[in-house]
Amino acid sequence: MIYLDNSATTQLHPEVLEAMMPWLRDRFGNASSAHLYGRQARVAVEQAREEIAAAMNAHPAEFIFTGGGTESNNTVIKSCTGESALADRIACSSVEHHAVLEPAEDCARRGISVRSIGVDTLGNIHTHELAECNAPRTLVSVMHVNNETGYVFELASLRGMVPDALFHTDAVQSFTKIPLDVAALGVDFVSVSAHKIHGPQGIGGLFIRKGIDFKAHQHGGGQERNRRAGTESLPLIVGFQHAVRIALRDAEQTTAHCRELVALMRSGIQERIPQIRWNTPVHAAPHILNVSFTDAAQLDGDAILQLLDLRGIACSNGSACVSGTMQPSHVLLAMGRETAESRAAVRFSVCRTTTTHDVLEAVDALSHIMQELRSA
């Protein structure tokens, strides 16, 4: 089986697993306890917090641990519009992850004003719509890298258009893959996750800019500076720390490797498969390539992924949160693609362990599948 769905999740790095093992076996203390076991755990949590925060140029006090990117996104949206009363309006791009769109929809059902900001056929945000959202007590959410297309949003520029609003970005697909500097970007909230960078599943983090009167929406303990109740998971936190450390250590090599593989896949598909449309721009995140088919109305779009799976190629047509339902991609629909084309799109995503052989095999499999479907 060839795994090309690294935007959904990544394989745990062997060095990360090795770093986690002592905390799974012997160092089992609760970081809130006052005895030796607890103090050891607290030191580990704070060291991890410091290292991960530094990776995005944040102060450790501005970073809390969460259960993942989805929790981080929900925390920002629901806390800002809940007890904190920081915002009574939400504006988010139409191509956000469902972990942003669905909490926003929930807020709309509770009477909070929610606006969707459109994009063009290339994925560029409609800046005139964004500028109209510049107002106090407004929460703007625009992701850093789109998880389906790899499009990179110029956050510093977009942030400059809404200086009076609070600004959140979902950086799950960008953290350690492209530069993420919270000070340079001027953002107020940033969501990140470990399992997209060869860390463990079930752990993520949230940057909250110092000075924001942010109140937790999860209660029951004073952990994470009273912003996220619940016993910290030492194995997962240490795993996250080492995943970030390794990703930054190998960033230049990994980025070059992924870009080379994506370029090889792009050229191979271009040469062998007609009637395609690239949904990933050339200047995109290094690890994602999304392609759809202009004759999709004549194809069984749902069959493409199933046939790739049968040929030993693991990939997707978009977010893993909905890919099992074979729904058309809301991202591609927002970019103006027809429903059939949005359903038939294929997203390949590579990583540090992906090989040239993997990519060539995937291109070959897709080429044969498209020939079969078009001749049926």
| Catalytic residue check, 321 | yes
Do 285 and 237 have their domain in common?
no
Separation in Å, CA 1 to CA 26, 164, 195, 311? 35, 50, 20, 8
Domain boundary among 189, 224, 249: 249
pLDDT tens digits along 96-119: 999 999 999 999 999 999 999 999
Dihedral angle, C-alpha 284, 100, 68, 354, nearest 10 °: -30
Do 62 and 132 have their domain in common?
yes
Choice among 54-68, 83-97, 126-140, 255-269 with the minimum mean pLDDT: 83-97
pLDDT tens digits along 270-301: 999 999 999 999 999 999 999 999 999 999 88
Look up the pTM and report it: 0.95
Range(s) of the domain holding residue 364:
2-8+251-375
> Does residue 320 have a pLDDT over 90?
no
pLDDT at 325: 57
Q: Phi and psi dihedrals of 115, rounded to 5?
A: -120, 135
Beta bridge partners of 138: 89
Assign residue 40 the CATH number of its domain.
3.40.640.10
Residue from 92, 107, 133, 321 carrying the catalytic annotation: 321
Beta bridge partners of 347: 290, 316
Domain boundary among 194, 223, 249: 249
Average pLDDT, the chain: 95
The pLDDT-based confidence of 352 (bands split at 50, 70, 90) is very high
The pLDDT-based confidence of 314 (bands split at 50, 70, 90) is very high
Domain boundary among 249, 284, 315: 249
Sign of CA dihedral 218, 223, 226, 228: negative
Do 187 and 126 have their domain in common?
yes
The number of distinct structural domains making up the chain is 2
For the chain, the farthest-separated pair of C-alpha atoms sits apart, in whole angstroms, at: 70
